[in-house]
Amino acid sequence: MGFERLHDHWTVRLGHTDAAGVMFFPAAFEVEQEFFERWLEAGGMSVRGMLEGALAPTPVVHCEAEYRRPVRVGDRLAVRLAGVGVGRKSFELAWEMALDGAVAVAVRVRRSSIDRASGHAVDLPPELRSWLESSQARTAAIT
Amino acid sequence: MGFERLHDHWTVRLGHTDAAGVMFFPAAFEVEQEFFERWLEAGGMSVRGMLEGALAPTPVVHCEAEYRRPVRVGDRLAVRLAGVGVGRKSFELAWEMALDGAVAVAVRVRRSSIDRASGHAVDLPPELRSWLESSQARTAAIT
Amino acid sequence: MGFERLHDHWTVRLGHTDAAGVMFFPAAFEVEQEFFERWLEAGGMSVRGMLEGALAPTPVVHCEAEYRRPVRVGDRLAVRLAGVGVGRKSFELAWEMALDGAVAVAVRVRRSSIDRASGHAVDLPPELRSWLESSQARTAAIT
Amino acid sequence: MGFERLHDHWTVRLGHTDAAGVMFFPAAFEVEQEFFERWLEAGGMSVRGMLEGALAPTPVVHCEAEYRRPVRVGDRLAVRLAGVGVGRKSFELAWEMALDGAVAVAVRVRRSSIDRASGHAVDLPPELRSWLESSQARTAAIT
């Protein structure tokens, strides 16, 4: 459950694949969302907390993925946080999903803190910034 | 867009399939949800309205599906509302998804009207009941 | 990872929820599929093996779910295999997904063994039947 | 059904949203996949044909999306092919999904033609290249 080490395994299930026999490409972002939530929880925060008002929500403003090798049902991906970018109102997490030691899918997602009422971007909350910075120190800075 | 006739076509896309080469079974309920929303809209209501307080929400309390023949990417399903069950606080819609004239997937979903604040079941709102009854008259009664 | 005990926890992520704030109902079957795969693997089989010809595939022929209480993002469901039904060519698994000790969602899925070439139903392979029977002995028989 | 005009509407359904009340970000790529398939079909090709050997498959090698404004259940997006990039072995489609005249989500997906047996990249098939070029002439060239 925990994600303190900033890496863990994740197994591809039938529902993540398509008729071409490989992972359906948007599923890479579902994996990212799951690991983002686990990363948040390892830092003492949660998406549930965001929805209930304990923390400014962080909707996705940009995402991208690069698919380097096919991933199939039953494959056990090694997922790790590979880099962190910290802005004033937004941040970016870079993830690598590897198979047999080679990166199969690389994903980057940028999220922005917003005010729940107005929807406008706001400064990252201190506890989020702090967890981003300590995660960045353990991985790499990205821009 | 409209669903006044209570039947329409729906094409299976890659994202609805899995590595076995056929429709991933839960996708049948995503189709049902889409057609439920179109059916609601044809009756002058909407899920958006439920979320914004214009109509009591109707969460799913039971669902089932029967898979009779494989459905593949590119298949154009003929989807029709096949029957309606109307209770005091809940209702059930039965759908048939056919391929070349034969039912490939049959789906039934029961939804219950609830009070937004308490979450308790409440009587079906009059406009929903009325649309259910007129839809039932044009299809079949189910129990 | 293992599923030898026939029960484990599963956390609801944002992607499994909808704008009503609860788990989107078809997601219950994605959970079932994941646990089915883990159950197969605990018995020495796999969906990957089915796709590669090591074992007769088992497409879903019927499924149903009952939703008893709302499930939200971050909820940690206790998922357990609650019962097993074994036929000659098909089998059914019953699952309970509980929150704070009370069943929130109950799911049943029936799968049928088929011949890969013809698509016709065939007798359950011996290793699958054997694993079903030993799982049934540890849970309950369902019909 | 047809997509000869290279633009059409698409309505957000409950299954595309999450508990934050907006479209779950990976759903933008499911929309893209559906419109990609319709675009292929308008050019006389299909994903089904790719899977059955009539045309070289085109797995996604890169994708990205930018989210500019929240999209909610019931919103009717105006989706249009906004630009086309044509390489020797790969191509990129840029899509805009607009709400009330303003782009809410912009998506780009790069796909590469591969040999089914080896999985290696191959030159784009002539009919695909031709349809890309005529679509590019009607939209914009992207790099």
Q: Dump pLDDT digits (tens) for C6-15.
A: 899 999 999 9
Burial call B80-91: b when 16+ CB within 10 Å, e when fewer:
bbbbbbbbeebb
pLDDT on residue D102 = 98
Q: Which residue, among C24, C51, C60, would best test binding to B if mutated, counting the most B CBs under 10 Å from its CB?
A: C60
Confidence of residue D31 (pLDDT cuts 50, 70, 90): very high
Give the rounded distance of the alpha carbon of C83 from its chain centre. 10
Question: Is the pLDDT score of D18 beyond 60?
Answer: yes
DSSP A14: G
Strands (E), chain C: 7-11, 60-67, 76-86, 90-99, 102-112
Q: Dump pLDDT digits (tens) for C61-111.
A: 999 999 999 999 999 999 999 999 999 999 999 999 999 999 999 999 999
Class of domain A7-137: alpha beta
pLDDT on residue C4 = 83
Structure tokens at B106: 């049959």
The Cα–Cα gap between A111 and C83 comes to 43
Across the interface, of C1, C34, C74, the residue whose CB is closest to A47 is C74
In percent, the amount of chain D with pLDDT more than 90 equals 94
Q: Dump pLDDT digits (tens) for B96-143.
A: 999 999 999 999 999 999 999 999 999 999 999 999 999 999 999 998
Q: Dump pLDDT digits (tens) for C26-42.
A: 999 999 999 999 999 99
**End-to-end CA, chain D:** 29
Kindly list the residues from chain D whose CB atom is less than 8 angstroms away from the CB atom of residue B9: 1
| Residue-averaged pLDDT of chain B | 96
Q: Could you give the angle at the alpha carbon of B5 between the alpha carbons of B4 and B11, nearest 5°?
A: 100
pLDDT on residue B120 = 95
Question: Is the pLDDT score of C118 beyond 70?
Answer: yes
C74 within 8 A of B37, measured Cβ to Cβ: no
Q: Which residue, among B17, B18, B23, would best test binding to A if mutated, counting the most A CBs under 10 Å from its CB?
A: B18
Hey, are the CB atoms on A51 and C33 less than 8 Å from each other?
no
Pairing of strands A102-112, A60-67: antiparallel
The Cα–Cα gap between B92 and D6 comes to 38
Structure tokens at D48: 């089904």
Minimal C-alpha gap between A132 and chain C (Å): 20
pLDDT on residue B1 = 52
Structure tokens at B55: 């109509």
The Cα–Cα gap between B27 and B39 comes to 18
Confidence of residue C3 (pLDDT cuts 50, 70, 90): confident
Confidence of residue A4 (pLDDT cuts 50, 70, 90): confident
Closest residue in A to D53 (Cα–Cα): A20
What residue spans define the domains of chain C? 7-137
In percent, the amount of chain A with pLDDT more than 70 equals 99
C23 within 8 A of C72, measured Cβ to Cβ: yes
Hey, are the CB atoms on A14 and B15 less than 8 Å from each other?
no
Query: What's the whole-number mean pLDDT along residues B3-15?
Result: 93
Question: Is the pLDDT score of A125 beyond 90?
Answer: yes
Closest residue in A to B24 (Cα–Cα): A15
Active site residue D18: yes
Confidence of residue B3 (pLDDT cuts 50, 70, 90): confident
Hey, are the CB atoms on C64 and B62 less than 8 Å from each other?
yes
Question: Is the pLDDT score of D1 beyond 70?
Answer: no
Contacting B with CB below 8 Å, chain C residues are 19-20, 22, 25-27, 29-30, 33, 47, 50-51, 57, 59-67, 70, 109, 119
- Which residues are bridge partners to C98 per DSSP? C78, C103
Q: Dump pLDDT digits (tens) for A15-54.
A: 999 999 999 999 999 999 999 999 999 999 999 999 999 9
pLDDT on residue D84 = 98
Confidence of residue C1 (pLDDT cuts 50, 70, 90): low
Question: Is the pLDDT score of B2 beyond 90?
Answer: no
Q: Is residue B109 exposed (0-12), middle (13-18) or buried (19+ Cβ within 10 Å)?
A: buried
Q: Dump pLDDT digits (tens) for D55-70.
A: 999 999 999 999 999 9
Q: Dump pLDDT digits (tens) for D98-113.
A: 999 999 999 999 999 9
The Cα–Cα gap between D5 and D80 comes to 9
Q: Quick one: CA dihedral B10, B14, B17, B21, positive or negative? A: positive
Across the interface, of D9, D11, D48, the residue whose CB is closest to B73 is D48
**Catalytic sites of B, residue numbers:** 18
pLDDT on residue A1 = 52
The answer to whether the pTM exceeds 0.95 is: yes
Confidence of residue B4 (pLDDT cuts 50, 70, 90): confident
B105 within 8 A of B66, measured Cβ to Cβ: yes
Closest residue in C to B106 (Cα–Cα): C62
Query: What's the whole-number mean pLDDT along residues A94-111?
Result: 98
Kindly list the residues from chain B whose CB atom is less than 8 angstroms away from the CB atom of residue C50: 20
Measured CA to CA in angstroms, residue D85 lies from A84, B44, C115, D79, D125 at distances of 30, 43, 44, 18, 15
According to the 3-state scheme, what is the secondary structure of chain D? CCCCCCEEEEECCHHHECCCCCECCCHHHHHHHHHHHHHHHHCCCCHHHHHCCCCCCCCEEEEEEEECCCCCCCCEEEEEEEEEEECCCEEEEEEEEEECCEEEEEEEEEEECECCCCCCECCCCHHHHHHHHHHHHHCCECC
Q: Is residue C100 exposed (0-12), middle (13-18) or buried (19+ Cβ within 10 Å)?
A: exposed
Q: Count CB atoms within 10 A of the CB of residue D133.
A: 14
With contact defined as 3+ CB pairs under 8 Å, the chains touching D are A, B, C
